[in-house]
Amino acid sequence: MFRGEELARYGFGDGHPFGCDRHEVFHDELAKACLGDAIRYAAPRRASVDELALFHLPEYINFVSKRSAEGCGFLDGGDTPAFPGVFEIAADVVGTTLAAVDAVMQGDARRAFVPIAGLHHAGRDHAAGFCVFNDCGVAVEYLRHNYDLQRIAYVDIDAHHGDGVFYGFEYDPDLLFADIHEDGRFLYPGTGAANETGKGPATGTKLNIPLPPGAGDAEFADAWPAVEAFIEHARPEFIILQCGADSLEGDPITHLRFTEDAHARAASELCRLAAKHCGGRIVATGGGGYNRHNVARAWTRVVESFVATA
Ligand SMILES: [Zn+2]
């Protein structure tokens, strides 16, 4: 479990939905769960430029660095503001996800959770949707570069389509992608139709399941077995879960109506699949979520599932 001021600093202030209070709200709720010795806390670390460049293009890394020094304007068309130090703060999020990968790969932790991370909209060459650097995308390349793994599964239950990961690996047959999200015709970023299954050699290695606005636990329960079957068939070597809490009822910017049971189920079933196929190796990242109660509860349930699942 990762906790620290460095993670808490990632946010955009001034009434922006991605505020800096999400970290504290979650950790307060997690503390109430009294998981005791079952959880070990670790501190964030900063990703190096070389690590960022495993996924992001050098031109884009330089662009963020420059805007961070200027400390104003936007990193994209208007969703993701630049502010002084945004480069370092975004690199802290990426580095922490890499630290989680290290902890699991080196046997220091059975499973790991990184709140605030899961910045799935950032592309290889651009910021988007509150996401500066894509920690999940970097983590995939990091697992390949540092640990010689190839087949990585990325599962995303955030209300928004994980477009930064999807298009970053659209032609990559060894990135197994499964994403349940609100139909892009009704919600940002507008992508993730069911017929987007990967391209070229990667055709069939991506699973997009768009749900209509208002879909709740019943629709999630109908969709989830396809994700399980997909992972079962894909036989990955490592699983990354992006468990955005904005798919829960009451989120101010989306229209799905899951309860936190969906997050608990996804976490426990993926632990089971990880145990079966990849030596138990799984890392979860918090992702989106703009109703503070939902963030606290959904992420806590994921951690509880990580602790409780054999
Ligand atoms: Zn989201």
CA distance 259 to 238: 26
Residues 296/286, Cβ–Cβ less than 8 Å: no
**For residue 111, which of 298, 296, 273 has the smallest C-alpha distance?**
273
Q: How far is the CA of 242 from the centre of ligand 1 (A)?
A: 10
pLDDT digits (tens, 9 = 90+) for 184-225: 999 999 999 999 999 999 999 999 999 999 999 999 999 999
Q: 229-232: long-range contacts at Cβ-Cβ below 8 A with a sequence spacing of 24 or more?
A: 230/176, 230/178, 231/153, 231/155, 231/176, 231/178, 231/270, 231/273, 231/277, 232/273, 232/276, 232/277
Q: How far is the CA of 119 from the centre of ligand 1 (A)?
A: 9
pLDDT at site 14: 67
pLDDT at site 26: 96
User: Residue 189: is the preceding peptide bond cis (ω within 30°)?
Assistant: yes
Q: What is the mean pLDDT of residues 46-69?
A: 97
Q: How far is the CA of 160 from the centre of ligand 1 (A)?
A: 4
Answer yes or no: 121 catalytic.
yes
pLDDT at site 15: 77
Q: What is the mean pLDDT of residues 65-85?
A: 91
CA distance 79 to 27: 26
Using only the alpha carbons of the chain, give its radius of gyration: 17
Q: How far is the CA of 247 from the centre of ligand 1 (A)?
A: 7
Burial class (CB in 10 A: 0-12, 13-18, 19+), 23: buried
pLDDT at site 297: 97
Whole-model pTM over 0.95 = yes
Contacts of 300 (CB under 8 A, 6+ apart): 26, 29, 30, 33
183, pLDDT greater than 70: yes
Residues 39/77, Cβ–Cβ less than 8 Å: no
CA distance 186 to 221: 21
Q: Which of 53-62, 73-82, 103-112, 252-261 shows the lowest per-residue confidence on average (mean pLDDT)?
A: 73-82
Regarding predicted confidence, which is higher, 17 or 237? 237
Q: What is the mean pLDDT of residues 116-135?
A: 97
12, pLDDT greater than 90: no
Q: Which of 23, 27, 56, 121 is catalytic?
A: 121
Greatest Cα pair distance in the chain: 49
Q: How far is the CA of 218 from the centre of ligand 1 (A)?
A: 20
pLDDT at site 310: 82
pLDDT at site 77: 87
13, pLDDT greater than 80: no
**For residue 268, which of 307, 220, 217 has the smallest C-alpha distance?**
307
Regarding predicted confidence, which is higher, 19 or 265? 265
- Helix %, strand %, coil % of the chain (to 5): 45, 15, 45
pLDDT digits (tens, 9 = 90+) for 150-181: 999 999 999 999 999 999 999 999 999 999 99
Which two tokens mark 267?
A: 């976490």
pLDDT over 90, % of the chain: 91
pLDDT digits (tens, 9 = 90+) for 189-199: 999 999 999 99
Query: 100 to each of 201, 239, 281, 285, how far by Cα in Å?
Result: 30, 12, 11, 9
pLDDT at site 16: 83
Q: What is the mean pLDDT of residues 119-145?
A: 97
**For residue 129, which of 167, 164, 157, 181 has the smallest C-alpha distance?**
164
How many Cβ atoms sit within 10 Å of the Cβ of residue 53? 15
